[in-house]
Amino acid sequence: MKIPSFIFAIVIGLTAANAQQPTNAPSAHAAELPQIASSQPALQPCINGPRIVGATPGKPFELLIPTTGEGPLRFFARGLPAGLTLNPTTGIITGSVKRAGTNVVDIIVRGRRGVARRKLTIVGGDHKLALTPPMGWNSWNIFHRDVDEAKVRVAADWMVKTGLAAHGYQYINIDDCWEDGRDTNGVITVNKKFGNMKALADYVHSKGLKLGIYSSPGPKTCAGFEASYGHEDIDAQTYASWGIDYVKYDWCSYGNIARELTEQRFATLLPEFAEEITGLMTDVAQLSAKRPRSQQENDRLKEVRTQLDEIYQKAGAERRKQTDLEIYKFPYKLFRVSLDKCNRDIVYSLCQYGMGDVWEWGAEVGGNLWRTTGDIQGNYRSMSNIGFGQNGHEKFAGPGHWNDPDMLWLHSLKPNEQLTHLSLWSLLAAPLLIGSDLSKLDPFTLDALSNDEVIDVD
Protein backbone atom coordinates (compact mmCIF):
# COMPACT_ATOMS: atom_id res chain seq x y z
CA MET A 1 0.00 0.00 0.00
CA LYS A 2 1.05 3.54 -0.68
CA ILE A 3 1.31 6.19 2.02
CA PRO A 4 -2.35 6.52 3.09
CA SER A 5 -3.87 9.83 2.09
CA PHE A 6 -5.23 10.41 5.59
CA ILE A 7 -1.61 10.73 6.73
CA PHE A 8 -1.25 13.71 4.42
CA ALA A 9 -4.36 15.21 6.01
CA ILE A 10 -3.01 14.64 9.53
CA VAL A 11 0.30 16.29 8.67
CA ILE A 12 -1.31 19.30 7.01
CA GLY A 13 -3.57 19.83 10.03
CA LEU A 14 -0.77 19.56 12.54
CA THR A 15 1.54 21.76 10.55
CA ALA A 16 -1.06 24.44 9.88
CA ALA A 17 -1.38 24.91 13.62
CA ASN A 18 2.37 25.52 13.79
CA ALA A 19 2.79 27.46 10.55
CA GLN A 20 4.25 30.49 12.29
CA GLN A 21 7.06 28.61 14.03
CA PRO A 22 10.33 30.55 13.60
CA THR A 23 12.46 27.43 13.17
CA ASN A 24 13.12 25.10 10.28
CA ALA A 25 12.06 22.05 12.28
CA PRO A 26 8.58 20.51 12.08
CA SER A 27 6.32 20.67 15.12
CA ALA A 28 6.81 18.21 17.95
CA HIS A 29 3.47 16.63 17.09
CA ALA A 30 4.47 16.17 13.44
CA ALA A 31 7.72 14.54 14.52
CA GLU A 32 5.74 11.91 16.42
CA LEU A 33 4.03 10.65 13.29
CA PRO A 34 5.19 7.19 12.23
CA GLN A 35 7.68 6.90 9.42
CA ILE A 36 5.85 5.05 6.68
CA ALA A 37 7.87 2.59 4.65
CA SER A 38 7.52 2.55 0.89
CA SER A 39 5.85 -0.51 -0.56
CA GLN A 40 5.75 -2.43 -3.81
CA PRO A 41 3.63 -0.95 -6.61
CA ALA A 42 0.15 -2.35 -7.22
CA LEU A 43 0.11 -5.23 -9.70
CA GLN A 44 -3.38 -4.65 -11.08
CA PRO A 45 -3.50 -2.01 -13.86
CA CYS A 46 -4.59 1.45 -12.77
CA ILE A 47 -4.94 4.53 -14.98
CA ASN A 48 -3.71 7.70 -13.26
CA GLY A 49 -3.10 11.38 -13.93
CA PRO A 50 -5.38 14.03 -15.44
CA ARG A 51 -8.88 13.12 -16.57
CA ILE A 52 -9.05 16.05 -19.00
CA VAL A 53 -6.58 17.50 -21.51
CA GLY A 54 -6.80 20.18 -24.18
CA ALA A 55 -5.27 20.84 -27.57
CA THR A 56 -5.44 23.36 -30.39
CA PRO A 57 -6.93 21.83 -33.57
CA GLY A 58 -4.28 21.26 -36.22
CA LYS A 59 -1.32 21.43 -33.83
CA PRO A 60 0.73 18.38 -32.78
CA PHE A 61 -0.70 16.41 -29.88
CA GLU A 62 1.05 13.88 -27.66
CA LEU A 63 -0.11 12.29 -24.42
CA LEU A 64 1.12 9.32 -22.42
CA ILE A 65 -1.69 7.45 -20.66
CA PRO A 66 -0.19 7.26 -17.13
CA THR A 67 -0.71 3.67 -16.00
CA THR A 68 0.68 1.52 -13.21
CA GLY A 69 0.51 -2.26 -12.95
CA GLU A 70 2.41 -5.38 -13.87
CA GLY A 71 3.28 -5.50 -17.55
CA PRO A 72 3.26 -6.01 -20.33
CA LEU A 73 0.33 -3.61 -20.68
CA ARG A 74 -1.86 -3.18 -23.75
CA PHE A 75 -3.75 0.05 -24.38
CA PHE A 76 -7.05 0.57 -26.19
CA ALA A 77 -9.25 3.62 -26.78
CA ARG A 78 -12.80 4.12 -27.97
CA GLY A 79 -14.00 7.48 -29.22
CA LEU A 80 -10.70 9.19 -29.95
CA PRO A 81 -11.30 12.45 -31.84
CA ALA A 82 -10.44 12.43 -35.54
CA GLY A 83 -6.72 12.85 -36.13
CA LEU A 84 -5.49 11.03 -33.03
CA THR A 85 -4.18 7.48 -32.71
CA LEU A 86 -3.12 5.39 -29.72
CA ASN A 87 -0.05 3.17 -29.72
CA PRO A 88 -1.31 -0.03 -28.05
CA THR A 89 2.15 -0.94 -26.71
CA THR A 90 3.47 2.40 -25.38
CA GLY A 91 0.16 3.96 -24.39
CA ILE A 92 1.07 7.21 -26.17
CA ILE A 93 -1.64 9.12 -28.10
CA THR A 94 -0.28 11.18 -31.00
CA GLY A 95 -1.53 13.14 -34.00
CA SER A 96 -3.50 16.37 -34.08
CA VAL A 97 -7.10 17.11 -33.22
CA LYS A 98 -8.95 17.99 -36.41
CA ARG A 99 -11.68 20.22 -35.04
CA ALA A 100 -12.85 22.06 -31.95
CA GLY A 101 -15.12 20.25 -29.52
CA THR A 102 -15.23 17.98 -26.50
CA ASN A 103 -14.63 14.23 -26.85
CA VAL A 104 -15.07 11.73 -24.03
CA VAL A 105 -12.76 8.79 -24.73
CA ASP A 106 -12.96 5.36 -23.10
CA ILE A 107 -9.45 4.18 -22.20
CA ILE A 108 -8.90 0.48 -21.51
CA VAL A 109 -5.63 -1.03 -20.27
CA ARG A 110 -5.11 -4.80 -20.05
CA GLY A 111 -2.32 -6.40 -18.04
CA ARG A 112 -1.42 -9.74 -16.55
CA ARG A 113 -3.31 -8.94 -13.36
CA GLY A 114 -6.50 -7.48 -14.78
CA VAL A 115 -8.11 -4.64 -16.71
CA ALA A 116 -8.40 -0.90 -15.96
CA ARG A 117 -10.92 1.47 -17.50
CA ARG A 118 -11.22 5.21 -17.34
CA LYS A 119 -12.79 8.08 -19.26
CA LEU A 120 -10.50 10.76 -20.66
CA THR A 121 -11.95 14.04 -21.91
CA ILE A 122 -10.04 15.65 -24.80
CA VAL A 123 -11.03 19.25 -25.51
CA GLY A 124 -10.15 20.77 -28.87
CA GLY A 125 -10.06 24.56 -29.07
CA ASP A 126 -7.95 27.70 -28.76
CA HIS A 127 -6.19 28.28 -25.41
CA LYS A 128 -7.24 24.95 -23.91
CA LEU A 129 -3.84 23.97 -22.49
CA ALA A 130 -3.06 23.12 -18.84
CA LEU A 131 -6.65 22.27 -17.97
CA THR A 132 -5.11 20.69 -14.87
CA PRO A 133 -1.97 21.96 -13.06
CA PRO A 134 1.22 20.91 -14.91
CA MET A 135 3.27 18.12 -13.31
CA GLY A 136 6.89 17.29 -13.97
CA TRP A 137 10.46 18.30 -13.14
CA ASN A 138 12.60 21.45 -13.31
CA SER A 139 16.40 21.62 -13.37
CA TRP A 140 17.07 24.78 -11.35
CA ASN A 141 16.84 23.81 -7.68
CA ILE A 142 19.20 20.88 -8.00
CA PHE A 143 21.54 21.81 -10.88
CA HIS A 144 21.47 25.62 -11.18
CA ARG A 145 24.17 26.67 -13.69
CA ASP A 146 25.44 23.10 -14.03
CA VAL A 147 22.50 21.87 -16.09
CA ASP A 148 23.48 20.14 -19.33
CA GLU A 149 21.95 17.91 -21.97
CA ALA A 150 23.12 14.70 -20.33
CA LYS A 151 21.40 15.62 -17.04
CA VAL A 152 18.18 16.44 -18.88
CA ARG A 153 18.23 13.08 -20.67
CA VAL A 154 18.88 11.32 -17.37
CA ALA A 155 15.97 13.18 -15.80
CA ALA A 156 13.69 11.93 -18.58
CA ASP A 157 15.01 8.40 -18.10
CA TRP A 158 14.39 8.50 -14.36
CA MET A 159 10.95 10.03 -14.74
CA VAL A 160 10.06 6.74 -16.39
CA LYS A 161 12.27 4.43 -14.27
CA THR A 162 10.86 5.74 -10.98
CA GLY A 163 7.32 5.26 -12.24
CA LEU A 164 6.51 8.97 -11.79
CA ALA A 165 5.52 9.22 -15.46
CA ALA A 166 2.98 6.48 -14.75
CA HIS A 167 1.39 8.75 -12.14
CA GLY A 168 0.99 11.78 -14.44
CA TYR A 169 4.31 13.66 -14.19
CA GLN A 170 5.19 14.62 -17.75
CA TYR A 171 7.21 17.83 -18.13
CA ILE A 172 11.04 17.82 -18.21
CA ASN A 173 11.84 21.53 -17.90
CA ILE A 174 15.24 23.06 -18.61
CA ASP A 175 15.62 26.24 -16.58
CA ASP A 176 18.25 28.96 -17.13
CA CYS A 177 21.82 28.46 -18.46
CA TRP A 178 21.20 26.55 -21.71
CA GLU A 179 21.57 29.64 -23.92
CA ASP A 180 24.51 30.99 -25.92
CA GLY A 181 24.25 33.88 -28.40
CA ARG A 182 22.50 34.36 -31.74
CA ASP A 183 23.52 33.42 -35.25
CA THR A 184 23.61 35.84 -38.18
CA ASN A 185 19.86 35.38 -38.68
CA GLY A 186 19.08 36.25 -35.10
CA VAL A 187 18.25 32.68 -34.11
CA ILE A 188 19.19 31.82 -30.55
CA THR A 189 21.82 29.12 -30.14
CA VAL A 190 22.63 26.66 -27.36
CA ASN A 191 25.87 26.68 -25.41
CA LYS A 192 28.49 23.95 -25.42
CA LYS A 193 26.69 21.98 -22.68
CA PHE A 194 23.88 21.25 -25.11
CA GLY A 195 23.85 19.78 -28.59
CA ASN A 196 20.89 19.51 -30.92
CA MET A 197 17.83 20.73 -29.02
CA LYS A 198 15.46 19.14 -31.54
CA ALA A 199 17.12 15.77 -30.97
CA LEU A 200 16.78 16.26 -27.21
CA ALA A 201 13.08 17.05 -27.57
CA ASP A 202 12.61 13.97 -29.76
CA TYR A 203 14.28 11.85 -27.09
CA VAL A 204 12.00 13.22 -24.36
CA HIS A 205 8.93 12.82 -26.57
CA SER A 206 9.85 9.20 -27.35
CA LYS A 207 9.14 8.45 -23.70
CA GLY A 208 5.74 10.12 -23.83
CA LEU A 209 7.08 13.14 -21.92
CA LYS A 210 7.21 16.85 -22.77
CA LEU A 211 10.16 19.28 -22.87
CA GLY A 212 10.18 22.74 -21.35
CA ILE A 213 12.60 25.63 -21.72
CA TYR A 214 13.36 29.02 -20.16
CA SER A 215 13.80 32.63 -21.27
CA SER A 216 13.20 36.23 -20.20
CA PRO A 217 11.43 39.21 -21.79
CA GLY A 218 14.55 41.25 -21.04
CA PRO A 219 17.89 41.27 -22.88
CA LYS A 220 19.46 38.77 -20.45
CA THR A 221 18.23 35.90 -18.29
CA CYS A 222 18.63 35.89 -14.51
CA ALA A 223 21.98 34.12 -14.92
CA GLY A 224 23.15 36.59 -17.58
CA PHE A 225 22.56 34.54 -20.75
CA GLU A 226 20.89 35.62 -23.99
CA ALA A 227 17.15 36.27 -23.60
CA SER A 228 14.25 37.22 -25.86
CA TYR A 229 14.01 41.03 -25.82
CA GLY A 230 13.49 42.20 -29.40
CA HIS A 231 13.44 38.59 -30.65
CA GLU A 232 10.08 37.39 -29.35
CA ASP A 233 8.72 36.05 -32.64
CA ILE A 234 11.89 34.31 -33.75
CA ASP A 235 12.41 32.72 -30.33
CA ALA A 236 8.86 31.39 -30.18
CA GLN A 237 9.21 29.96 -33.68
CA THR A 238 12.58 28.44 -32.77
CA TYR A 239 11.16 26.77 -29.68
CA ALA A 240 8.28 25.39 -31.74
CA SER A 241 10.66 24.04 -34.39
CA TRP A 242 12.64 22.27 -31.66
CA GLY A 243 9.49 20.66 -30.27
CA ILE A 244 9.26 22.62 -27.02
CA ASP A 245 6.05 22.14 -25.01
CA TYR A 246 6.47 24.63 -22.13
CA VAL A 247 8.16 28.02 -21.70
CA LYS A 248 9.01 29.67 -18.39
CA TYR A 249 9.33 33.42 -19.04
CA ASP A 250 11.28 35.09 -16.22
CA TRP A 251 11.12 38.89 -15.57
CA CYS A 252 14.80 39.42 -14.59
CA SER A 253 16.57 42.02 -16.76
CA TYR A 254 13.27 43.41 -18.01
CA GLY A 255 13.20 45.44 -14.81
CA ASN A 256 15.56 48.02 -16.35
CA ILE A 257 13.37 48.28 -19.44
CA ALA A 258 10.28 48.61 -17.26
CA ARG A 259 11.85 51.54 -15.46
CA GLU A 260 12.60 53.27 -18.77
CA LEU A 261 9.03 52.68 -19.93
CA THR A 262 7.74 54.11 -16.66
CA GLU A 263 9.84 57.22 -17.13
CA GLN A 264 8.63 57.66 -20.70
CA ARG A 265 5.02 57.15 -19.64
CA PHE A 266 5.20 59.75 -16.87
CA ALA A 267 6.85 62.25 -19.17
CA THR A 268 3.61 62.06 -21.16
CA LEU A 269 1.29 62.01 -18.13
CA LEU A 270 3.05 64.96 -16.46
CA PRO A 271 3.83 67.39 -19.30
CA GLU A 272 4.78 70.14 -16.82
CA PHE A 273 7.69 67.91 -15.71
CA ALA A 274 8.49 66.45 -19.14
CA GLU A 275 11.71 68.45 -19.65
CA GLU A 276 12.98 67.63 -16.15
CA ILE A 277 12.09 63.94 -16.53
CA THR A 278 13.88 63.78 -19.89
CA GLY A 279 17.01 65.30 -18.39
CA LEU A 280 16.97 62.94 -15.43
CA MET A 281 16.38 59.98 -17.75
CA THR A 282 19.44 60.99 -19.77
CA ASP A 283 21.50 61.10 -16.58
CA VAL A 284 20.23 57.65 -15.57
CA ALA A 285 21.10 56.18 -18.98
CA GLN A 286 24.60 57.63 -18.97
CA LEU A 287 25.36 56.62 -15.41
CA SER A 288 23.86 53.14 -15.80
CA ALA A 289 26.03 52.50 -18.84
CA LYS A 290 29.26 53.24 -16.98
CA ARG A 291 31.20 50.14 -15.85
CA PRO A 292 32.72 50.37 -13.31
CA ARG A 293 31.19 53.37 -11.53
CA SER A 294 32.87 55.40 -8.82
CA GLN A 295 31.17 55.82 -5.45
CA GLN A 296 30.37 59.40 -6.42
CA GLU A 297 28.67 58.20 -9.62
CA ASN A 298 26.70 55.56 -7.71
CA ASP A 299 25.54 58.22 -5.27
CA ARG A 300 24.51 60.48 -8.16
CA LEU A 301 22.57 57.63 -9.80
CA LYS A 302 20.71 56.99 -6.57
CA GLU A 303 19.97 60.70 -6.22
CA VAL A 304 18.60 60.93 -9.78
CA ARG A 305 16.35 57.92 -9.28
CA THR A 306 15.06 59.47 -6.04
CA GLN A 307 14.23 62.68 -7.91
CA LEU A 308 12.33 60.70 -10.55
CA ASP A 309 10.41 58.82 -7.87
CA GLU A 310 9.42 62.12 -6.25
CA ILE A 311 8.06 63.34 -9.57
CA TYR A 312 6.12 60.10 -10.09
CA GLN A 313 4.34 60.64 -6.78
CA LYS A 314 2.74 63.75 -8.27
CA ALA A 315 0.87 61.60 -10.79
CA GLY A 316 -1.37 60.24 -8.04
CA ALA A 317 -1.81 56.70 -6.75
CA GLU A 318 -4.36 55.57 -9.33
CA ARG A 319 -2.36 56.71 -12.37
CA ARG A 320 0.80 55.18 -10.92
CA LYS A 321 -1.01 51.87 -10.37
CA GLN A 322 -2.45 51.81 -13.88
CA THR A 323 0.94 52.63 -15.38
CA ASP A 324 2.63 49.89 -13.36
CA LEU A 325 0.00 47.36 -14.50
CA GLU A 326 0.41 48.33 -18.16
CA ILE A 327 4.16 47.82 -17.90
CA TYR A 328 3.90 44.53 -15.98
CA LYS A 329 1.49 43.13 -18.56
CA PHE A 330 3.15 44.35 -21.74
CA PRO A 331 6.06 41.89 -22.21
CA TYR A 332 3.88 38.90 -21.33
CA LYS A 333 1.15 39.96 -23.75
CA LEU A 334 3.82 40.44 -26.42
CA PHE A 335 5.22 36.93 -26.08
CA ARG A 336 1.72 35.43 -25.91
CA VAL A 337 1.11 36.88 -29.38
CA SER A 338 4.37 35.29 -30.57
CA LEU A 339 3.42 31.89 -29.13
CA ASP A 340 0.01 32.05 -30.80
CA LYS A 341 1.71 32.40 -34.18
CA CYS A 342 3.44 29.02 -33.74
CA ASN A 343 2.19 25.74 -35.11
CA ARG A 344 2.67 24.12 -31.73
CA ASP A 345 0.93 24.11 -28.35
CA ILE A 346 3.26 25.58 -25.72
CA VAL A 347 2.26 25.99 -22.08
CA TYR A 348 3.11 29.53 -20.95
CA SER A 349 4.52 30.07 -17.45
CA LEU A 350 4.78 33.69 -16.24
CA CYS A 351 7.61 34.12 -13.76
CA GLN A 352 7.57 37.60 -12.24
CA TYR A 353 7.23 36.78 -8.54
CA GLY A 354 3.71 38.10 -7.95
CA MET A 355 4.37 41.75 -8.86
CA GLY A 356 1.28 43.81 -9.51
CA ASP A 357 -0.92 41.01 -8.11
CA VAL A 358 -0.33 38.93 -11.21
CA TRP A 359 -3.00 36.42 -10.14
CA GLU A 360 -5.58 39.10 -11.00
CA TRP A 361 -4.45 39.49 -14.63
CA GLY A 362 -2.26 36.51 -15.51
CA ALA A 363 -5.08 34.81 -17.42
CA GLU A 364 -5.88 38.06 -19.24
CA VAL A 365 -2.40 38.15 -20.82
CA GLY A 366 -2.61 34.47 -21.80
CA GLY A 367 -0.62 32.84 -19.00
CA ASN A 368 -1.31 29.23 -18.12
CA LEU A 369 0.38 29.65 -14.75
CA TRP A 370 2.05 32.48 -12.88
CA ARG A 371 4.39 32.71 -9.96
CA THR A 372 2.75 34.20 -6.89
CA THR A 373 5.90 34.49 -4.81
CA GLY A 374 9.67 34.77 -4.79
CA ASP A 375 11.91 31.72 -5.14
CA ILE A 376 11.28 28.90 -2.69
CA GLN A 377 14.27 27.87 -0.59
CA GLY A 378 15.20 24.39 0.60
CA ASN A 379 13.97 24.73 4.18
CA TYR A 380 10.79 24.30 6.16
CA ARG A 381 10.31 27.99 6.94
CA SER A 382 10.39 29.05 3.28
CA MET A 383 8.06 26.26 2.22
CA SER A 384 5.53 26.86 4.99
CA ASN A 385 5.56 30.65 4.66
CA ILE A 386 4.84 30.34 0.95
CA GLY A 387 2.34 27.50 1.25
CA PHE A 388 0.31 29.04 4.06
CA GLY A 389 0.56 32.50 2.48
CA GLN A 390 -1.53 31.82 -0.63
CA ASN A 391 -4.97 32.45 0.86
CA GLY A 392 -7.19 34.60 -1.35
CA HIS A 393 -5.47 33.67 -4.61
CA GLU A 394 -7.63 30.59 -5.20
CA LYS A 395 -10.49 32.49 -6.86
CA PHE A 396 -8.19 33.44 -9.74
CA ALA A 397 -7.18 29.84 -10.54
CA GLY A 398 -9.00 27.35 -12.72
CA PRO A 399 -8.69 25.17 -15.83
CA GLY A 400 -5.98 26.65 -18.04
CA HIS A 401 -4.68 29.21 -15.53
CA TRP A 402 -3.05 28.36 -12.20
CA ASN A 403 -1.35 30.05 -9.28
CA ASP A 404 2.26 28.85 -9.03
CA PRO A 405 3.90 29.01 -5.57
CA ASP A 406 7.14 27.66 -7.13
CA MET A 407 8.67 24.22 -7.37
CA LEU A 408 8.58 21.26 -5.02
CA TRP A 409 11.76 21.25 -2.95
CA LEU A 410 11.57 17.87 -1.23
CA HIS A 411 15.12 16.53 -1.06
CA SER A 412 16.20 18.88 1.75
CA LEU A 413 13.07 18.41 3.93
CA LYS A 414 12.34 15.81 6.59
CA PRO A 415 9.72 13.16 5.77
CA ASN A 416 6.83 14.81 7.60
CA GLU A 417 7.79 18.19 6.14
CA GLN A 418 7.65 16.60 2.70
CA LEU A 419 4.08 15.47 3.35
CA THR A 420 3.16 19.00 4.42
CA HIS A 421 4.76 20.40 1.26
CA LEU A 422 2.87 18.02 -1.04
CA SER A 423 -0.38 18.43 0.87
CA LEU A 424 -0.25 22.22 0.69
CA TRP A 425 0.62 22.35 -2.99
CA SER A 426 -2.15 19.87 -3.83
CA LEU A 427 -4.75 21.77 -1.80
CA LEU A 428 -3.67 24.92 -3.66
CA ALA A 429 -4.12 23.22 -7.06
CA ALA A 430 -0.50 24.22 -7.70
CA PRO A 431 1.78 22.91 -10.44
CA LEU A 432 3.74 19.93 -9.13
CA LEU A 433 7.22 20.48 -10.58
CA ILE A 434 9.86 18.43 -8.78
CA GLY A 435 13.09 20.29 -8.03
CA SER A 436 15.11 17.25 -6.91
CA ASP A 437 17.52 14.85 -8.59
CA LEU A 438 15.15 12.12 -9.82
CA SER A 439 17.93 9.54 -9.79
CA LYS A 440 18.41 10.02 -6.03
CA LEU A 441 14.85 10.01 -4.70
CA ASP A 442 14.57 7.86 -1.58
CA PRO A 443 11.66 5.39 -1.25
CA PHE A 444 9.68 7.64 1.12
CA THR A 445 9.83 10.68 -1.18
CA LEU A 446 9.03 8.61 -4.24
CA ASP A 447 6.08 7.03 -2.45
CA ALA A 448 4.75 10.44 -1.42
CA LEU A 449 5.07 11.86 -4.93
CA SER A 450 3.25 8.82 -6.29
CA ASN A 451 0.14 9.10 -4.10
CA ASP A 452 -2.62 9.18 -6.71
CA GLU A 453 -5.34 10.35 -4.33
CA VAL A 454 -3.29 13.40 -3.37
CA ILE A 455 -2.48 14.06 -7.03
CA ASP A 456 -6.21 13.86 -7.78
CA VAL A 457 -6.85 16.58 -5.18
CA ASP A 458 -4.28 18.74 -6.99
Helix 415-427 and helix 5-17, axial crossing angle in degrees, nearest 10: 90
Give the start-end residues of each E strand in 165-241.
171-173, 179-182, 188-190, 210-215
Q: What is the CA radius of gyration of the chain?
A: 24
Q: How far apart are CA 225 and CA 427, in angstroms?
A: 36
Q: Specify whether the CB–CB gap between 283 and 304 falls below 8 A.
A: yes
Catalytic residue among 375, 437, 442, 456: 375
**Active site annotation includes 250:** yes
Question: Which residue out of 148, 250, 345, 406 is catalytically annotated?
Answer: 250
CB-based burial label for 75 (10 Å; 0-12, 13-18, 19+): buried
Cis peptide before 292 (omega within 30 of 0): yes
| Percent of the chain as helix, strand, coil, to the nearest 5 | 40, 20, 40
d(CA 25, CA 155): 30
Concerning whether 375 is annotated as a catalytic residue, the answer is yes
Cβ distance 41 to 68 under 8 Å? yes
DSSP string, 136-171: EEESHHHHGGG--HHHHHHHHHHHHHTSGGGGT--E
Q: Looking at the annotation, which residues are catalytic?
A: 250, 375
